[in-house]
């Protein structure tokens, strides 16, 4: 499916921050207009199950595209909104996250930002970026988090003041990425870093895997009530062909078995009671790799 799906709350939120405040003295009222800046996120579904995200700052007019698997759908959404592309932000080198880089750069003159450890595998890189470095989008700041495991140089872009996390193929809704390059220990450490972010952080991952992930999560924790409720919501969304992102860190901590390997319910299900977290995580990841519902 092509085209963009607006998140209503984000757009409504932007408008709702136009707040009028009246100031005395009476009888002549004076009005001051305050506008709080807020980033707008557009979700662009591409290929089988990828999402590209556009992050737009209405104040500076700067826009970033996260993990563009394709260029044309991004160019279409930019044109529909009258936006200019400032950055491409790549989380890792896989082609379904970088394939649109060069055409976007050619058509828009945007800068391509990519993880330093994978810069030679990613087309058109202008700035290689590493753990703890920051990037400005207008007055908003993204901090880079190194989260190896799926690939060795994988990074996330975390807009801390805005509560937004773009985590590529590391943390999925109720799941996590496969260990193509890293070890279970590396992935576990990376997921812990993400799990430690504030509860209300919005999680934007790059694939729509929620239904399949949820079925596996329910196999591991059949009595998890929050998981049951989340799966109901996800079924409804998918019936309408709507994205199940964003999730939140709080929801992931409550429902994602890969963040819950310290729980007795998960350990019991895996026959791994009182094992260390990395051992339990490795077993869980192995089971998911061979899980077919």
| Residues tagged active-site | 92, 94, 96-97, 150, 169, 207
**Minimal distance in Å, beta carbon 31 to Zn ion?**
50
| DSSP category for residue 50 | E
Q: Are strands 87-89 and 111-115 parallel, antiparallel or unpaired?
A: parallel
**Quick one: tokens of 203?**
């999680």
Q: In the complex with Zn ion, which residue's Cβ is closer, 39 or 145?
A: 145
Among candidates 99, 246, 64, which has minimal Cα distance to 172?
246
What are the beta bridge partners of residue 2?
Answer: none
Q: DSSP characters for 175-188?
A: EE---SSS-HHHHH
Residue from 56, 94, 140, 230 touching Zn ion (CB under 5 A): that is 94
Tell me if 30 sits within 8 A of 74, measured CB to CB: no
Q: DSSP characters for 190-241?
A: HHHHHHTS-TT-EEE-SB--HHHHHHHHHHH-TT-HHHHHHHHHHHHHHHTT
Q: In the complex with Zn ion, which residue's Cβ is closer, 38 or 176?
A: 176
Scanning 73-81, 94-102, 238-246, 270-278 for contacts with Zn ion by CB under 5 A, the matching segment is 94-102
**Minimal distance in Å, beta carbon 116 to Zn ion?**
17
Instruction: Build a one-symbol-per-residue string for 247-266: x at contacts with Zn ion by CB under 5 A, - elsewhere.
Output: --------------------
Tell me if 252 sits within 8 A of 259, measured CB to CB: yes
The verdict on 118 binding Zn ion (CB under 5 A) reads no
Site for Zn ion in 156-175 (CB under 5 A): 169
**Minimal distance in Å, beta carbon 248 to Zn ion?**
22
Size of the site for Zn ion (CB under 5 A): 2
Q: In the complex with Zn ion, which residue's Cβ is closer, 140 or 288?
A: 288
Q: In the complex with Zn ion, which residue's Cβ is closer, 115 or 231?
A: 115
Tokens 């607006």: give the residue: 6
Q: In the complex with Zn ion, which residue's Cβ is closer, 169 or 251?
A: 169
**Minimal distance in Å, beta carbon 169 to Zn ion?**
4
Q: How distant, in Å, are the alpha carbons of 82, 257, 276, 282, 290 from that of 43?
A: 16, 26, 38, 32, 30
**Minimal distance in Å, beta carbon 99 to Zn ion?**
12
Which residues of this chain interact with Zn ion, rule CB under 5 A?
94, 169
């Amino acid at each position: 499916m092509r085209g963009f799906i607006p998140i209503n709350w984000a757009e409504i939120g932007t408008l709702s921050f136009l707040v009028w405040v009246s100031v005395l003295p009476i009888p002549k009222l004076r009005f001051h207009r305050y506008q709080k800046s807020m980033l707008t996120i557009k979700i662009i579904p591409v290929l089988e199950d990828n999402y590209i995200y556009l992050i737009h700052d209405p104040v500076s007019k700067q826009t970033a595209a996260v993990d563009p698997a394709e260029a044309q759908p991004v160019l279409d959404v930019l044109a529909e909104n009258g936006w200019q592309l400032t950055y491409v932000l790549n989380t890792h080198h896989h082609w379904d996250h970088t394939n649109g880089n060069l055409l976007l750069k050619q058509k828009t003159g945007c800068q391509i930002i990519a993880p330093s450890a994978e810069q030679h595998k990613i087309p058109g890189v202008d700035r290689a970026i590493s753990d703890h470095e920051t990037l400005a989008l207008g007055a908003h700041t993204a901090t880079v988090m190194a989260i190896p495991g799926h690939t060795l140089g994988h990074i996330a872009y975390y807009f801390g003041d805005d509560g937004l996390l773009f985590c590529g193929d590391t943390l999925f809704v109720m799941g996590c990425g496969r260990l193509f390059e890293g070890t279970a220990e590396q992935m576990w450490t990376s997921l812990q870093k993400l799990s430690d972010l504030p509860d209300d952080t919005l999680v934007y991952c790059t694939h729509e895997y929620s239904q399949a992930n949820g079925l596996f999560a329910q196999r591991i924790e059949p009595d998890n009530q929050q998981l049951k409720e989340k799966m109901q919501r996800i079924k409804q969304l998918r019936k309408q062909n709507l994205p199940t992102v964003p999730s939140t860190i709080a929801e992931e901590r409550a429902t994602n078995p890969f963040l819950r390997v310290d729980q007795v319910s998960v350990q019991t299900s895996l026959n791994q009671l009182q094992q260390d977290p990395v051992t339990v995580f490795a077993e869980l990841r192995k089971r998911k790799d061979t899980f077919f519902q």
